[in-house]
């Protein structure tokens, strides 16, 4: 653990997940439950990082952006609770804890815990994606704000949409063979997809911006508004669609 960043990422995400499951039993609802979850998971991860990785920088959805990360060699990019809305709607299980490590230009470790599912996906034991079945391709989309262009993409390639909450859960749905692709544009941040992309890459999936370019992390601007995570054989088709039609 002391030197193993993969194991640390998985363990830290699970610790935060255990805390989130406790918060869900406290009788809170709506905004109060969301805020309590965000704060509790942030507190767990901040404490574990301070204790076990004191020399590293941190970029978190739930903390102010310390720009010294731009000069750092190692930056943990974390989303303590992704899918906050779904977390506040028990017994939904489509919410996650994201812990990623960026080192000198690359994501080098990552974990996505889905505590309500009892699963943690991480780069220390990269998931093996099952071979693709015969059916129509399945595209994971936001259950509350599905981008219109993804509907048009689905029609063109004969795919069906699978709605669910949380960016991490949608990326893991491709890893878990619940979907074949996750295609998103219109807004998101580095913490929403860094850990999921680290895990998906380790699992051999295609990960890029919607124009097919490489996703770059630890940029000054925390916005990272679009991405594709999919089985490699679907990537050309999806990128070609976006090049022809855009995402508006
Ligand atoms: N258009 C948008 N602008 C900003 N953030 C967005 C977004 N669409 C999705 N996200 C973020 O991506 C995560 C997954 O959203 P969705 O379930 O709708 O796909 C959520 O993270 P949080 O729950 O951490 O806030 C959400 O805030
Ligand atoms: Mg998020």
Residue nearest to atom 22 of ligand 1 (CA): 82
Say if 127 falls within a structural domain: no
pLDDT in the model for residue 62: 96
Residues 82 and 169 in one domain: no
Q: Residues of the chain with pLDDT > 90: what percent?
A: 96
Per-residue pLDDT at 226 exceeds 90: yes
Last residue of a domain, one of 96, 122, 148: 122
Residues 145 and 234 in one domain: yes
Say if 132 falls within a structural domain: no
Confidence tier at 2 by pLDDT (50, 70, 90): low
Asked if residue 109 lies in contact with residue 100, where contact means CB atoms within 8 angstroms, the answer is yes
Specify the long-range contacts of residues 83-87, CB closer than 8 Å, at least 24 apart. 83/165, 83/166, 83/167, 83/168, 83/169, 84/34, 84/37, 84/38, 85/34, 85/144, 85/165, 86/143, 86/165, 86/166, 86/169, 87/20, 87/24, 87/33, 87/34, 87/37
Say if 56 falls within a structural domain: yes
Residues 47 and 150 in one domain: no
Residues 232 and 186 in one domain: yes
Per-residue pLDDT at 42 exceeds 80: yes
Confidence tier at 72 by pLDDT (50, 70, 90): very high
Say if 130 falls within a structural domain: no
What value does the mean pLDDT take over residues 106-110? 98
CA distance 50 to 64: 15
What value does the mean pLDDT take over residues 39-63? 98
ipTM over 0.95: yes
Residue nearest to atom 23 of ligand 1 (CA): 83
Ligand 1 centre to CA of 169 (Å) is 12
Per-residue pLDDT at 133 exceeds 90: no
- Residue found by looking up tokens 């709605």 in the block: 163
Say if 182 falls within a structural domain: yes
Per-residue pLDDT at 3 exceeds 90: no
Ligand 1 centre to CA of 2 (Å) is 33
**Mean pLDDT score across all residues of the chain:** 97
Q: Which ligand is nearest to the CA of 86?
A: 1
pTM score, whole prediction: 0.97
- Residue found by looking up tokens 């009788």 in the block: 27
The reply, when asked if residue 61 is annotated as ligand binding, is yes
What value does the mean pLDDT take over residues 10-26? 98
Say if 131 falls within a structural domain: no
Beta bridge partners, 60, equal 78
Residue nearest to atom 2 of ligand 1 (CA): 187
Domain housing 85: 5-122
Per-residue pLDDT at 138 exceeds 90: yes
Structure tokens at 124: 């220390």
Last residue of a domain, one of 122, 147, 168: 122
The reply, when asked if residue 82 is annotated as ligand binding, is yes
Q: Which ligand is nearest to the CA of 95?
A: 1
What value does the mean pLDDT take over residues 163-177? 98
Say if 238 falls within a structural domain: yes
Residues 109 and 153 in one domain: no
Residues 176 and 216 in one domain: yes
Per-residue pLDDT at 106 exceeds 90: yes
Asked if residue 137 lies in contact with residue 181, where contact means CB atoms within 8 angstroms, the answer is yes
Say if 184 falls within a structural domain: yes
Residues 152 and 86 in one domain: no
């Amino acid at each position: 653990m002391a030197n193993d960043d993969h194991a640390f990422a998985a363990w830290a995400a699970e610790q935060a997940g255990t805390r989130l499951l406790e918060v869900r039993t406290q009788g809170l609802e709506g905004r109060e439950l969301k805020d309590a979850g965000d704060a509790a998971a942030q507190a767990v991860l901040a404490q574990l990082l301070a204790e076990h990785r004191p020399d590293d920088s941190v970029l978190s959805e739930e903390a102010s952006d310390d720009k010294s990360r731009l000069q750092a060699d190692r930056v943990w990019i974390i989303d303590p609770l992704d899918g906050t809305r779904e977390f506040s709607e028990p017994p939904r299980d489509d919410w996650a804890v994201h812990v990623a490590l960026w080192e000198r230009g690359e994501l080098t470790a990552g974990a996505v815990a889905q505590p309500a599912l009892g699963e943690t996906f991480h780069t220390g034991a990269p998931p093996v994606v099952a071979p693709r079945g015969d059916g129509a391709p399945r595209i994971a989309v936001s259950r509350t704000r599905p981008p219109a262009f993804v509907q048009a993409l689905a029609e063109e390639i004969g795919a069906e949409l699978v709605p669910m909450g949380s960016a991490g859960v949608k990326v893991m749905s491709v890893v878990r063979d619940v979907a074949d692709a996750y295609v998103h544009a219109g807004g998101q941040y580095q913490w929403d997809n860094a850990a999921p992309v680290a895990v998906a890459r380790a699992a051999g999936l295609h990960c890029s911006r919607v124009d097919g370019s490489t996703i770059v992390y630890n940029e000054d601007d925390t916005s990272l508004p679009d991405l594709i995570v999919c089985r490699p054989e679907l990537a050309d088709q999806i990128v070609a669609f976006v090049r022809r039609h855009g995402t508006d």
